[in-house]
Structure 1
Amino acid sequence: MSTAQSPSEPVHLFAALVSELHEEDTVAAVAATVADQGAAIMGDGAISIALGRRRRLVSEAASESGLLDVMSSQTDLCEGPALDVSEGASAVYCPDLAATELWPRWAAVAASHGWRSWFSVQLLDRGQNLFGVLSFAHPLADAVTPELADRMWTLSLHAAIALDRAQAQENLVRAAEAQGRVGLACGVLMERHNVTAEQAFNTLRRCSQDQQRKLRDVAADVLNDLQAGPKR
């Protein structure tokens, strides 16, 4: 049964979502918050988020656990609304998964899990590149009204901003950690081989180029060898 909401209630829910998103600093935490709070904003139904990982759409979070399997099956079956969005559509809406002929295999899977309406929209980063896909699933056909569609678009904007910020934060943390590892590895080489900092760094860089590996991974090998101790 649908839950009636006052006109002001979604505004308060969006305000609460924005406040909570400012407290999250990882992509996983942001995705989980958007999924959980987004479901409340939409009223009935469920929210899921899939993100692009190495040119593959990966299910990141969902307000209902079973929805993750339905989302993942789109990638497995190579068809579905989220995949259509990832391939260029700004949004895809299906009013009845039990009657559509657009994705015969995936739609059957989704309908078997109790979902009838489906709405997927793009998530864009600050450079307007596709970051992921936000989806809304509902157990009733024709469930996405113009009002709910507007809420989805607003939710997608907040989600995209928060996810982009969290991704940038994670990149900074990884870069700082990588820089720290390289510095420590240079120190090890300087002590072991009595070389300058520049010579130690050049050694790491040559190994990175010769092995076609990232500098941080070569540095990690040096530090792992140090922890392992001398070989017998």
Structure 2
Amino acid sequence: MREAEDEVDWGQFGQQLAAMARDLLAQDSLDATLQRITASATELVEGCDAAGILVLHDHQVESLAPTERLVIDSDRLQAELGQGPCFDAANSARGERVFRIADLTEAKPRWPLFAPQAHELGVGSMMGFLLFTDAEDLGALNFYSRKTGLFTADSEQAGLLLASHAAVALSSARTHAQMEHALATRHTIGEAMGILMNRHDLTEEQAFDVLRRYSQESNTKLREVAHMVCKRGGI
């Protein structure tokens, strides 16, 4: 099928992209950043009806910030079949960072199981981009259209620019979330140690050893043991 004519106003798109980048960095949580990324995909890329981020954890698929049910259904289908464009894009080991399918009905030779079933879900065109930085791969940002022939070479370029900004913002947000989690965990462990020290007249080292031994013997993460101590007032 012939692709639609490229009609991207790059001057306007650049302004929108700059505004999006500022907006992403202003989000106050990882979830908010993810939601803003996928919302921006539908707002900035012509013909995009839905968007989402697919992440692989030991070949298990996770859908993040889907804008519509269509995204969840497509990701789940790829997980069940073990094949599909988003699955490939998120798996950097396969060497592909970008894909664009103008007409899903023509993609059957490459994804013989996924293509016809995705078309039945209502997918006409798809694009996907590996979200990556120099330090890590973060998943794949995927664009969906219910119509065929909607995603063009200009659409791909626009999506690539959006994904590049999104990867930086997502990496920053995830690092911040990890730091906040680490600080919260350290605070909880410190509070639990204080409870044990006061209740059992232990030194700091002895209190930590109690937590550590209980964690090992019960096969429970140390932070969960600490949370239990804080909640119950002891072990």
**Under TM normalisation by the shorter chain, which class is it?**
0.7 to 0.9
Alpha-carbon separation, structure 1, partners of 2:158 and 2:222: 44
Determine the structure 1 residue equivalent to 2:44. Answer: 41
Equivalent residue for 2:99?
92
- Secondary structure at the aligned position of 1:62 is classed as coil
| Letter paired with 1:41 | L
Task: Give unmatched runs, 5+ long, in structure 2.
Answer: none
* SS of residue paired to 1:134: strand
Distance of 2:12 and 2:66 partners within structure 1: 22
For 2:155, the equivalent position in structure 1 comes to: 148
Residues 55 and 139 in structure 2, CA contact (< 8 A), matched pair in contact too: yes
2:33 counterpart of 1:25:
no
Cα drift, residue 62 of structure 1: 2.7
Secondary structure in 1 aligned to 2:118?
helix
CA distances 1:36-86 after superposition (whole Å, capped 9, x unpaired): 112121111232212234652211123333322222221122221111122
Structure 1 range deviating more: 162-171 or 56-65:
56-65
Correspondence 1:175 to 2:182? yes
TM-score where L is the length of structure 2 = 0.86
One-letter code of the match for 1:110?
A
- Secondary structure of the 1:104 match is coil
CA distance in structure 2 between the aligned counterparts of 1:83 and 1:7, rounded to whole angstroms: 30
Deviates more, 1:55-64 or 1:189-198: 55-64
Tell me, in whole angstroms, the C-alpha distance in 2 between the residues paired with 1:210 and 1:31. Answer: 38
- Is contact 2:101–2:151 with CA below 8 Å preserved after alignment? no
| CA RMSD of superposed structures (Å) | 2.4
Query: Quick check: 179-188 or 48-57, which moved more?
Result: 48-57
- Cα distance in 1 for partners of 2:200, 2:44 equals 61
Q: CA deviation at 1:92?
A: 2.6
Contact 1:3 1:44 in 2 (8 A): no
Q: Which among 49, 59, 80 is matched to residue 76 of structure 1?
A: 80
CA distance in 2, matches of 1:11, 1:63: 23
Q: Distance in 2 between matches of 1:134 and 1:221?
A: 38
Considering Cα pairs closer than 8 Å and 6+ residues apart, tell me whether 1 or 2 has the greater RCO.
2
- The offset of 1:126, in angstroms, is 4.4
* Offset of residue 110 of structure 1: 2.1
Counterpart AA for 1:221:
M
Match of 1:11 in 2: 14
The answer (yes or no) to whether the contact 2:6–2:154 under 8 Å persists in 1 is: no
Q: What is the TM-score of this pair, normalised by structure 1?
A: 0.87
Pick closer, same or farther for the CA change 1:2–1:112 going to 2, 3 Å.
Answer: farther
Say whether 1:158 aligns with 2:165: yes
Uncovered stretches (5+) of structure 1, i.e. residues with no partner: none
Q: Residue 33 of structure 1: SS of its match in structure 2?
A: helix
The aligned runs of 1:113-128 (5 Å cut-off) are 113-127=121-135
Instruction: Check whether the contact 2:102–2:126 (CA below 8 A) recurs between aligned residues.
Output: yes
Structure 1: how far apart are the matches of 2:228 and 2:134? 35
| Alignment: residue pair count | 227
Distance 2:195 2:217 in 1: 20
